[in-house]
């Protein structure tokens, strides 16, 4: 790939007079033996998988293996249809789809990692929640995924995208930054505004730890996906309004890396700290364990 | 650059709940199976770090078992992999260890069939991306991005040339090649990534070269 940083990505797009999504498709074609058409078709399969997960989460009573999460996407949709709400229709359409996808994930359903499974609700939530509202076609939806992918490619190589190495900031934070940038492009913003949205969204999730109750991708993951999607919407609007981040995107990505390095292991997907070790978190873990008495307990 | 494609970021399509602990584990298992050449009869799996602490909640155990039977990340059979393993005669033992200096998502798999026993070490980087970093006592880096051939052999002059010439005869281009050896004239390993697929005939020809031992052909994930 001919870009390693967000700055290089933006400069490349500006120099070529192209959108970030087009740059990503062309760079992928250059780096692989696939044509742009083949690359787009492959992404189209992912888009279908994402759509099915969203639909399943909104239409079925999807309950996780432990029973801790499930049904909240439908609850939010019911609330939205009933009339009055605080955040507005567009925001709740987005957030309910983010929750729907992550509920399907928690139930060991089929999803697309974007960039990870734990954070798999943020990008499809924003995409499918906004696509109807903003009346975009399938081509634009595919572009959304390539734009998000380009941003994620930079973050993954410059920092990290897994909770075990960088905490939740690396998962939901990265997904939120990817979605924020992709929303900006879909809404007609410039590559420069996209970089601002990435910086703003990622700044706001720095330091977020990965502390899953009982080691399950359920609590707080599903709600974190709701937050990640909402944060992406706000960051995109700020950038489209012309607000700029004092700290540029690449430096925010660098800060995320250093924060992740400094984060103790107990807060990096080990279920040894944070929400996992609250009295309720501990009680849930013990209850789940008693249901599986044959498992050895001393290593937990 | 650890992540080389947009599909490393948007993807894989997978069974939840974790790309590192479920999809990554399935891929480590599948790479291990490909290195052995078939589904093993027995696999002793050792988890450390986050894998050790959370493998039950993330389905890491079922995913790695599914991978050892060749299941892809999106195969819904992964959910029932432990019971399917019993049906197909794959014995799985799982244990955990606390090694703070290792990558937080590390799994060792010691697997055997009727003929041999292989030990590998895999790490899961996040987003479904994995690396096999050790096999047969050699440090290495197998990513599953390309066709890869592992040629165990005895170290002496002409070995690389002999192996490369078989590949050239079959019009297979080498993308990357790394040589490891325990000591001069001792056991050595050549890891070759190729642009084209490697067929049975090619690998048989290479394994019939004098002083070549085991040859594994690992297709891309």
Q: Judge if B28 and B108 occupy the same domain.
A: yes
State the average pLDDT for chain B.
95
Q: Kindly state whether residue A297 falls inside one of the protein's structural domains.
A: no
Integer CA distances (angstroms), B153 to A220, B29, B37, B178, B181, in order: 50, 25, 18, 13, 9
Nearest C-alpha of chain A: how many angstroms from B97?
8
Question: Pick from B1, B15, B127: which is nearest to A115 by CB?
Answer: B127
Q: What is the pLDDT of residues B100-143, one digit of tens each?
A: 899 999 999 999 999 999 999 999 999 999 999 999 899 999 99
Tell me if chain B has a CB within 8 Å of the CB of A24.
yes
Q: Residue A66's domain spans which residues?
A: 6-209+218-261
DSSP code, position B90: -
What's the rounded mean pLDDT across residues B208-212?
97
Q: Residue B168's domain spans which residues?
A: 147-218
pLDDT score, position B30:
97
Residue B35 pLDDT exceeds 60:
yes
Q: Kindly state whether residue B99 falls inside one of the protein's structural domains.
A: yes
**Is 0.90 exceeded by the ipTM?**
yes
Tell me if chain B has a CB within 8 Å of the CB of A111.
yes
Total domains present in chain A: 1
State the average pLDDT for chain A.
95
Residue A293 pLDDT exceeds 70:
no
| Cβ within 8 Å, pair B16-A153 | no
- The backbone torsions φ and ψ at residue B80, rounded to the nearest 5 degrees and listed phi first, read -105, 20
Residues A76 and A59: their CA atoms lie apart, in Å, by: 12
pLDDT score, position A295:
46
Q: Judge if B91 and B187 occupy the same domain.
A: no
pLDDT score, position A299:
42
Whichever domain contains A189, its CATH number is 1.10.4100
pLDDT score, position A33:
82
Q: Judge if B135 and B31 occupy the same domain.
A: yes
pLDDT score, position B119:
97
Q: Judge if B16 and B59 occupy the same domain.
A: yes
Q: Judge if B101 and B155 occupy the same domain.
A: no
Integer CA distances (angstroms), A24 to A88, A158, B46, in order: 33, 17, 39
Residues A118 and A266: their CA atoms lie apart, in Å, by: 18
Residue B31 pLDDT exceeds 50:
yes
Whichever domain contains B196, its CATH number is 3.30.70.260
Tell me if chain B has a CB within 8 Å of the CB of A277.
no
Q: Kindly state whether residue A92 falls inside one of the protein's structural domains.
A: yes
Both structure tokens of B138: 């050699």
Residues 64-83 of A with CB under 8 A from B: 64, 66
Residue A294 pLDDT exceeds 70:
no
Q: Kindly state whether residue A273 falls inside one of the protein's structural domains.
A: no
Q: Kindly state whether residue A195 falls inside one of the protein's structural domains.
A: yes
pTM of the model: 0.93
Q: Judge if B192 and B168 occupy the same domain.
A: yes
By C-alpha distance, the chain B residue nearest A24 is B6
| Cβ within 8 Å, pair A269-B50 | yes
Q: Kindly state whether residue B6 falls inside one of the protein's structural domains.
A: no
Q: Which residues pair with A186 in a beta bridge?
A: none
Contact at 8 Å (CB) between B123 and B193? no
Q: Kindly state whether residue B180 falls inside one of the protein's structural domains.
A: yes
Q: Judge if B41 and B62 occupy the same domain.
A: yes
Q: Kindly state whether residue A279 falls inside one of the protein's structural domains.
A: no
B1 vs A contacts (CB less than 8 Å): 1, 4, 157
Under the banding of pLDDT at 50, 70 and 90, the label for residue A117 is: very high
Question: Pick from A45, A145, A164: which is nearest to B105 by CB?
Answer: A164
Strands B117-126 and A110-112: unpaired
Q: Which residues pair with B100 in a beta bridge?
A: none
Burial class (CB in 10 A: 0-12, 13-18, 19+), A1: buried
Q: Kindly state whether residue A127 falls inside one of the protein's structural domains.
A: yes
Total domains present in chain B: 2
> B142, B170, B196 — which closes off a domain?
B142
Q: What is the pLDDT of residues A154-212, one digit of tens each?
A: 999 999 999 999 999 999 999 999 999 999 999 999 999 999 999 999 999 999 999 99
DSSP code, position A88: -
Residue A300 pLDDT exceeds 80:
no
Residue A32 pLDDT exceeds 50:
yes
> B96, B125, B142 — which closes off a domain?
B142
| Cβ within 8 Å, pair A156-B127 | yes
Q: Kindly state whether residue A267 falls inside one of the protein's structural domains.
A: no
Whichever domain contains B127, its CATH number is 3.30.1330.90
Q: What is the pLDDT of residues B141-182, one digit of tens each?
A: 999 999 999 999 999 999 999 999 999 999 999 999 999 998
Residue B85 pLDDT exceeds 60:
yes
Q: Kindly state whether residue A202 falls inside one of the protein's structural domains.
A: yes
Nearest C-alpha of chain B: how many angstroms from A83?
33
| Cβ within 8 Å, pair A111-B14 | yes
Residue owning tokens 């192209």: A18
> B142, B159, B177 — which closes off a domain?
B142
Q: Judge if B94 and B175 occupy the same domain.
A: no
pLDDT score, position A61:
87
Tell me if chain B has a CB within 8 Å of the CB of A172.
no
Tell me if chain B has a CB within 8 Å of the CB of A122.
no
Using DSSP, state whether B156 is helix, strand or coil.
Answer: coil
Q: Judge if B97 and B158 occupy the same domain.
A: no
Q: What is the pLDDT of residues B55-68, one digit of tens each?
A: 998 999 999 999 99
Q: Kindly state whether residue B66 falls inside one of the protein's structural domains.
A: yes
Q: Kindly state whether residue B7 falls inside one of the protein's structural domains.
A: no
Nearest C-alpha of chain B: how many angstroms from A260?
13
The proportion of chain B whose per-residue pLDDT surpasses 90, expressed as a percent, equals 96
Residue A256 pLDDT exceeds 50:
yes
pLDDT score, position B134:
96
pLDDT score, position A296:
45
């Amino acid at each position: 790939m001919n870009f390693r940083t967000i700055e290089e990505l933006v400069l490349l797009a500006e120099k070529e007079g192209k959108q970030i999504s087009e740059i990503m498709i062309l760079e992928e074609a250059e780096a692989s033996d696939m044509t742009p058409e083949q690359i787009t078709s492959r992404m189209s399969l992912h888009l279908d998988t994402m759509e099915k997960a969203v639909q399943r989460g909104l239409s079925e009573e999807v309950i996780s293996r432990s029973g801790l999460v499930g049904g909240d996407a439908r609850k939010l949709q019911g609330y939205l249809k009933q009339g009055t709400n605080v955040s507005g229709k567009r925001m709740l359409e987005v957030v309910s789809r983010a929750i729907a996808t992550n509920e399907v994930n928690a139930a060991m359903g089929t999803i697309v990692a974007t960039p990870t499974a734990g954070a798999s609700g943020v990008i499809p939530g924003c995409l499918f929640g906004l696509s109807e509202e903003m009346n975009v076609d399938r081509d634009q939806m595919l572009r959304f995924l390539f734009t998000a992918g380009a941003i994620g490619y930079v973050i993954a190589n410059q920092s990290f995208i897994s909770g075990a190495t960088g905490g939740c900031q690396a998962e939901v934070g990265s997904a939120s930054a990817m979605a924020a940038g992709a929303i900006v492009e879909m809404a007609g913003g410039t590559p420069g505004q996209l970089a601002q949205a990435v910086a703003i969204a990622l700044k706001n999730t720095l330091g977020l730890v990965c502390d899953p109750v009982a080691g399950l991708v359920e609590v707080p993951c599903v709600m974190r996906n709701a937050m990640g999607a909402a944060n992406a919407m706000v960051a995109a609007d700020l950038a489209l309004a012309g607000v700029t981040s004092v700290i540029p995107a690449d430096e925010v990505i660098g800060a995320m890396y250093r924060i992740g390095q400094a984060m103790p292991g107990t807060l990096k997907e080990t279920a040894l700290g944070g929400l996992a070790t609250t009295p309720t978190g501990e009680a849930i873990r013990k209850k789940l364990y008693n249901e599986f008495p044959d498992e050895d307990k001393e290593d937990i | 650059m650890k992540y080389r494609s947009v599909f490393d970021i948007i993807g894989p399509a997978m069974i939840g709940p974790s790309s590192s602990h479920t999809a990554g584990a399935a891929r480590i298992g599948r790479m291990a199976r490909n290195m052995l050449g078939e589904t093993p009869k027995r696999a002793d799996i050792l988890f450390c770090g986050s894998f050790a602490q959370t493998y039950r909640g993330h389905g890491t155990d079922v995913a790695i078992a599914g991978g050892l039977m060749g299941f892809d990340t999106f195969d819904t059979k992964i959910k029932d992999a432990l019971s399917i393993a019993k049906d197909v005669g794959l014995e799985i033992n799982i244990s955990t260890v606390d090694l703070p200096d290792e990558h937080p998502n590390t799994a060792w798999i010691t697997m055997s069939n009727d003929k041999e026993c292989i030990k590998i070490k895999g790490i899961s980087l996040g987003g479904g991306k994995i690396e096999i970093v050790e096999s047969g006592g050699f440090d290495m880096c197998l990513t599953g991005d390309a066709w890869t051939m592992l040629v165990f052999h005895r170290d002496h002059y002409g070995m690389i040339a002999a192996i490369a010439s078989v590949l050239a005869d079959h019009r297979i281009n080498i993308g990357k090649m790394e040589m490891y050896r325990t000591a001069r004239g001792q056991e050595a390993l050549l890891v070759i990534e190729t642009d084209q697929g490697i067929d049975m005939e090619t690998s048989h020809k290479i394994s019939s070269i004098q002083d070549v031992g085991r040859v594994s052909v690992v297709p891309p994930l």
